[in-house]
């Protein structure tokens, strides 16, 4: 019995010392916003219904293009590695400028890009059945469909229902329960 | 995984993660932990994802790590935890700044040398309003104040910032930026006191106006006791000041916003004047000086950000300052109109351009010591600037080139160009270099001043020394070469190094005047006037290195370390009279450590340590200073602070003023404070 006490105490002391040193161990899990955003994008695909089933089944891969944020692209690559959706692998592509967008199913746009583009571009994307995801309310104001907005240290899913209806996207109840619905008049 | 399991699995996961982290703590294991977090997130449900706490670097910090200049930001957290009670004292935290207390209510503050009571090479702005006075060129630090809780951040840029900010940003720019009214909703009440801080209090209230507007208003007052003389007696330099202000922010539409802010202040300072500077041949005693200050300002700003990434700002302000003593009196009104437009061209050019007009109207009545000729003046200043940031390789390499063209009544047109390049080898490293030219434009005093600075007796004749302004006094100029490296390898550690080499021409000095003149002073019969006139005389080099680092030792313990090294070399063959540019007037080495500790039971224990090298030519020995703050939050909205300043010595001098003010020594001090938010 006695021979166990000393190792037990030293193990506890080591854990106590390192847990004080480690930011993550002492509190609940914290993550980088772009990690949580990537996880959301990966997860969302299960709760979104495209107007055109054929469109999402077209091509060899399910393609997500990321505009202006290399971290998100990298995180998505790690998340989707060896994963399949509707029987097909994911393909993650990083894009520098809006001119390089082509043939994708989901387009994620960083706010640095959102600030510089006109609403026409997003409308065009929506009309070609691409699910547009951004990270700011400005993105929704410009007609984007889903925004992953950081608020009160959480990432909040905000859905622009009117834009989604126009272009024929619908969402499962499970997602709508978590999400906030964007209403242009109330936004600052 | 079900929702019910989440806390338990989070705990297990965090333990696992801590082991991973610890196992490769000094190594390059960050990628593993990052990916581990991702893999954990991957298996969460949408509900669980929505509840994950995120930590992110704020916008300003992001910009800071990218900046192509020697920038240092003091956050509102730094201000709160420093326990400092005035803006000039807060600036001690900035590497490369020299902050010296002359007496209880006067400071000498400068960047990269040339420190003096009116250090004339540092531009200071409060929400874009210049508080640099064109009277003597410099800043009256004792009237620069606001409710410190309302300051969002203080950005300090060392090195010339004239291309963007305008003349007199020769060695640096300090931007004091207050919080938006939206961020200061609700009430705040605070009060406290101690041996030097003899009593202070402040109240602020903020809220919403309609659906699109926010407001706040505040009032504050303090009464500060006197510092000490070398012998430990009262230096009679106590002061008190009251201040009130407001800020309104309106969102006119999604794209445009309007800000209106203003304030008034009223106070009184006490100082001692040196007999050497007074016409008191018979009675060589210190004379007490009482100065009354009043001031007011009002600023409006309209900002429009359009969808195409362009933004337009129109800003105006009016400002009145009035100081009144037996020694010197001045009333000054300022009007400023400012327009700025930024936009992108061909996705690779970020262009900013602007126009500014400023008008000063002053009135400087004659006293026994000062005579300005003319007594009152209206001065106009026009300027325009253009800057283009050209992206060569996106997110890797860019080049910024620009210039300011300015016209003032004293020195005419001034061109202040700059070129900077920035290279980011990786996302967390920045290398930058810059060359810029900036000028210190002539002040009203440089041109129009006559001041009697002392007298001595030879036989039956009284000799009086007169300093005279010079209508041909031109701008002082600098060409600065700078470079820097910044790295944030891990969240817990950052390092910022900058180095500079500056060449100055036409620095102000005094030369014997050929013309005998007694200006308009009435002097007794047997008086001989020795006149010295201001001239652009000196050529000087300076060079130095500044290092700033932060280390997060634990989740509850953050430290910052700053070091700066500075050298000045004066080149002149001429006879120097009364010049204030001695090489030995700057501390060659400065070092500081800040430590913030979050302890259990809602306690905070914060330490500030400063080492400042000697000022050789002033015979000021080097000094160390230790401050301790103990903070306690007994309830969510209540905080109690105990602050001990200057623990290491009874008192120490920081500066010997070259001028009429008699310096005093900084004593040990203590104060307590209670803050209640509602």
Question: The tokens of B30 are what?
Answer: 């960050």
Q: A24 and A38, same structural domain?
A: no
| Helix (H) / strand (E) containing A17 | helix A2-21
The nearest CA of chain B is from the CA of A34 a distance in Å of 9
Which of B24-28, B157-161, B468-472, B550-554 is predicted least confidently?
B24-28
Under CATH, what is the fold of the domain B59-677? Maltoporin; Chain A (2.40.170)
More confident residue, B251 or B21: B251
More confident residue, B354 or B581: B354
Using one digit for the tens of pLDDT, what is the confidence trace for A147-186? 999 887 789 999 998 888 888 888 888 888 889 998 765 4
Using one digit for the tens of pLDDT, what is the confidence trace for B120-136? 888 999 998 999 988 88
Using one digit for the tens of pLDDT, what is the confidence trace for B178-193? 999 988 889 999 999 9
User: pLDDT grade, residue B13 (50/70/90)?
Assistant: very low
Q: Indicate if the pLDDT at residue B581 is higher than 80.
A: no
Q: Indicate if the pLDDT at residue B18 is higher than 70.
A: no
CA B182 to chain centre: 25
Residues 6+ apart with CB under 8 A from B225: B104, B195, B196, B197, B198, B238
The nearest CA of chain A is from the CA of B25 a distance in Å of 10
CA B592 to chain centre: 17
Apex B153 CA angle, B587 and B240, nearest 5: 70
- Residue A53 inside a domain? The answer is yes
Per the structure, the count of domains in chain A is: 2
Q: Which residues of A touch B3 (CB under 8 A)?
A: none
What is the predicted pLDDT for the residue at B663?
87
Which of A15, A22, A78 to mutate to probe the B interface, most B CBs <10 Å?
Answer: A22
Q: B463, exposed or middle or buried, with CB in 10 Å at 0-12, 13-18, 19+?
A: middle
Beta strands, E only, B93-166: 97-103, 106-111, 122-126, 129-130, 132-133, 138-139, 151-158
Q: A140 and A106, same structural domain?
A: yes
Spans of chain A, pLDDT less than 70: 1-30, 53, 55-58, 184-188
What is the predicted pLDDT for the residue at B305?
80
- Residue A151 inside a domain? The answer is yes
Helix B30-42 to helix A33-44 angle, to the nearest 10 degrees?
40
What is the predicted pLDDT for the residue at B335?
95
The nearest CA of chain B is from the CA of A18 a distance in Å of 7
User: pLDDT grade, residue B17 (50/70/90)?
Assistant: very low
What is the predicted pLDDT for the residue at B364?
93
- Residue A186 inside a domain? The answer is no
The nearest CA of chain A is from the CA of B544 a distance in Å of 36
Using one digit for the tens of pLDDT, what is the confidence trace for B384-436? 999 888 888 877 888 989 999 999 999 899 989 999 998 988 878 889 999 99
Q: A59 and A150, same structural domain?
A: yes
Mean pLDDT of B648-653: 90
CB contact under 8 A, A22 and B22: yes
Q: A37 and A24, same structural domain?
A: no
Q: A63 and A6, same structural domain?
A: no
Q: A26 and A38, same structural domain?
A: no
Q: A80 and A10, same structural domain?
A: no
C-alpha neighbours within 13 Å on the C-beta side of residue A57: 7
More confident residue, B3 or A167: A167
B463 contacts B456 by C-beta, under 8 angstroms: yes
Using one digit for the tens of pLDDT, what is the confidence trace for B76-111? 888 999 999 999 999 999 998 999 998 999 998 989
For B313-332, b/e burial (b = at least 16 CB within 10 A) is bebbbbbebbbbbebbbbbb
What is the predicted pLDDT for the residue at B55?
60
Q: Could you list the residue range(s) of the whole structural domain that residue A23 is in?
A: 1-30
CB contact under 8 A, A29 and B35: no
Q: A132 and A97, same structural domain?
A: yes
CB contact under 8 A, A24 and B17: yes
B174 contacts B92 by C-beta, under 8 angstroms: no
User: pLDDT grade, residue B33 (50/70/90)?
Assistant: very low
User: pLDDT grade, residue B491 (50/70/90)?
Assistant: low
Q: A53 and A10, same structural domain?
A: no
- Residue A188 inside a domain? The answer is no
Secondary structure (DSSP) of B326-374: SS-EEEEEEEEEEEEEEEEETTTEEEEEEEEEEEEEEE----SSEEESS
Which residue of B18, B39, B556 is in closest CB contact with A25? B18
Contacts 24+ apart (CB under 8 A), B32-39: B34/A32, B34/A35, B35/A78, B37/A29, B37/A31, B37/A32, B37/A35, B38/A35, B38/A38, B38/A39, B38/A75, B38/A78, B38/A79, B39/A78
Q: Which residues of A touch B38 (CB under 8 A)?
A: 35, 38-39, 75, 78-79
Secondary structure (DSSP) of B409-433: TTTEEEEEEEEEEEE-SSTTEEEEE
Q: Does B393 touch chain A (CB under 8 A)?
A: no
B557 contacts B58 by C-beta, under 8 angstroms: no
Which residue of A21, A154, A156 is in closest CB contact with B53? A154
User: pLDDT grade, residue B243 (50/70/90)?
Assistant: very high
Q: A83 and A15, same structural domain?
A: no
Using one digit for the tens of pLDDT, what is the confidence trace for B45-67? 888 888 887 764 433 334 556 77
CB contact under 8 A, A31 and B56: no
CA B324 to chain centre: 25
Work out whether strand B138-139 and strand B132-133 pair parallel, antiparallel, or are unpaired.
antiparallel
Which residue of A22, A97, A142 is in closest CB contact with B307? A142
Whether residue B440 is preceded by a cis peptide bond, meaning omega within 30 degrees of 0, is: no
Residues B283 and B289: their CA atoms lie apart, in Å, by 16
Residue matched to tokens 């500056």: B502
What is the predicted pLDDT for the residue at B536?
85
């Amino acid at each position: 019995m006695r021979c166990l006490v000393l190792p037990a105490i030293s193990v506890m002391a080591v854990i106590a010392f390192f847990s004080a040193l480690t930011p993550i161990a002492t509190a609940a899990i914290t993550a980088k916003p772009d990690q949580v955003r990537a996880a959301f994008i990966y997860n969302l695909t299960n709760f979104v219904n495209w107007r055109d089933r054929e469109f999402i089944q077209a091509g060899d891969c399910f393609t997500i293009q990321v505009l202006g944020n290399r971290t998100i692209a990298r995180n998505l690559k790690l998340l989707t590695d060896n994963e399949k959706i509707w029987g097909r692998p994911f393909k993650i592509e990083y894009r520098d400028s809006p001119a390089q967008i082509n043939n994708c199913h989901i387009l994620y746009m960083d706010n640095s890009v959102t600030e510089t583009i006109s609403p026409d571009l997003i409308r065009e994307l929506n009309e070609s059945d691409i699910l547009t995801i951004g990270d700011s309310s400005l993105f929704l104001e410009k007609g984007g469909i889903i925004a992953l907005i950081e608020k009160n240290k959480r990432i909040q899913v905000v859905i622009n229902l009117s834009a989604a209806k126009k272009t024929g996207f619908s969402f499962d109840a499970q997602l709508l329960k978590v999400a906030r619905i964007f209403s242009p008049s109330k936004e600052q | 995984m079900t929702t019910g399991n989440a806390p338990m699995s989070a705990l297990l996961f965090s333990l696992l993660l801590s082991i991973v982290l610890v196992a490769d703590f000094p190594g390059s294991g960050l990628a593993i932990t990052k990916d581990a977090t991702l893999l954990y997130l991957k298996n969460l449900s949408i509900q669980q994802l929505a509840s994950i706490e995120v930590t992110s670097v704020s916008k300003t910090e992001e910009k800071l790590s990218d900046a192509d200049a020697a920038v240092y930001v003091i956050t509102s957290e730094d201000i709160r935890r420093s326990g400092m009670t005035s803006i000039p004292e807060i600036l001690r935290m900035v590497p490369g700044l020299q902050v010296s207390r002359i007496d209880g209510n006067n400071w000498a503050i400068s960047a990269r040398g040339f420190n003096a009571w009116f250090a004339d090479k540092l531009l200071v702005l409060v929400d874009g309003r210049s508080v640099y006075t064109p009277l003597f060129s410099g800043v009256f630090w004792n009237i620069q104040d606001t409710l410190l809780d309302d300051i969002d951040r203080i950005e300090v840029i060392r090195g010339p910032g004239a291309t963007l900010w305008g003349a007199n940003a020769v060695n640096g720019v300090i931007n004091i930026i207050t919080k938006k009214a939206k961020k200061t909703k609700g009430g705040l009440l605070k009060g406290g006191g101690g041996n030097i801080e003899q009593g202070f209090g402040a109240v602020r209230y903020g809220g919403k106006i309609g659906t699109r507007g926010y407001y706040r208003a505040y009032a504050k007052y303090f009464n500060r006791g006197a510092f000490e003389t070398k012998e430990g007696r009262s230096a009679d330099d106590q002061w008190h000041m009251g201040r009130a202000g407001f800020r309104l922010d309106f969102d006119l539409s999604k794209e445009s916003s309007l800000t209106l802010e203003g304030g008034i202040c009223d106070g009184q300072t006490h100082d001692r004047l040196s007999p050497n500077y007074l016409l008191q041949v018979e009675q060589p005693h210190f004379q007490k000086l009482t100065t009354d200050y009043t001031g007011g300002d009002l600023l409006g700003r309209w900002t429009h950000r359009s969808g195409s990434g362009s933004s337009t700002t129109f800003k105006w302000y009016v400002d009145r300052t009035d100081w009144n003593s037996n020694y010197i009196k001045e009333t000054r009104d300022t009007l400023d109109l400012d327009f700025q437009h930024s936009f992108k061209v061909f996705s690779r050019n970020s262009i900013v351009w602007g126009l500014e007009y400023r008008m000063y109207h002053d009135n400087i009545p004659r006293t026994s010591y000062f005579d300005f000729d003319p007594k009152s003046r209206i001065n106009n200043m026009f300027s325009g600037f253009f800057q283009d940031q050209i992206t060569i390789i996106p997110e890797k390499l860019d080049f910024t080139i620009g210039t300011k063209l300015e016209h003032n009544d004293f020195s005419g047109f001034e061109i202040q160009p700059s070129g900077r390049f920035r290279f980011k080898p990786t996302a967390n490293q920045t290398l930058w270099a810059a060359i810029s030219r900036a000028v210190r434009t002539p002040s009203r005093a440089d041109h129009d001043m006559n001041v009697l600075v002392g007298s001595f007796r030879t036989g039956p004749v009284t000799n009086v020394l007169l300093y005279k302004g010079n209508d041909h006094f031109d701008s002082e100029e600098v060409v600065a070469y700078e470079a820097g490296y910044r790295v944030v390898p891990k969240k817990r550690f950052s390092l910022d190094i900058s180095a500079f080499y500056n060449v100055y021409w036409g620095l102000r000095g005094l030369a014997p005047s050929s013309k005998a003149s007694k200006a308009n002073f009435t002097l007794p019969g047997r008086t001989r006037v020795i006149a010295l006139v201001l001239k652009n005389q000196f050529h000087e080099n300076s060079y130095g290195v500044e290092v700033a680092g932060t280390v997060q030792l634990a989740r509850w313990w953050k430290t910052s370390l700053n070091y700066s090294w500075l050298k000045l070399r004066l080149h002149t063959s001429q006879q120097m009279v009364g010049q204030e540019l001695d090489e030995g007037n700057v501390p060659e080495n400065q070092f500081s450590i800040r430590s913030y500790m979050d302890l259990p039971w809602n306690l905070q224990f914060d330490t500030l340590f400063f080492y400042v090298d000697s000022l050789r030519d002033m015979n000021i020995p080097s000094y160390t200073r230790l401050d301790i703050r103990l903070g306690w939050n007994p309830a969510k909205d209540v905080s109690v602070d105990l602050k001990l300043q200057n623990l290491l010595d009874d008192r120490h001098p920081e500066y010997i003023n070259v001028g009429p003010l008699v310096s005093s020594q900084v004593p040990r001090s203590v104060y307590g404070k209670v803050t209640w938010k509602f």
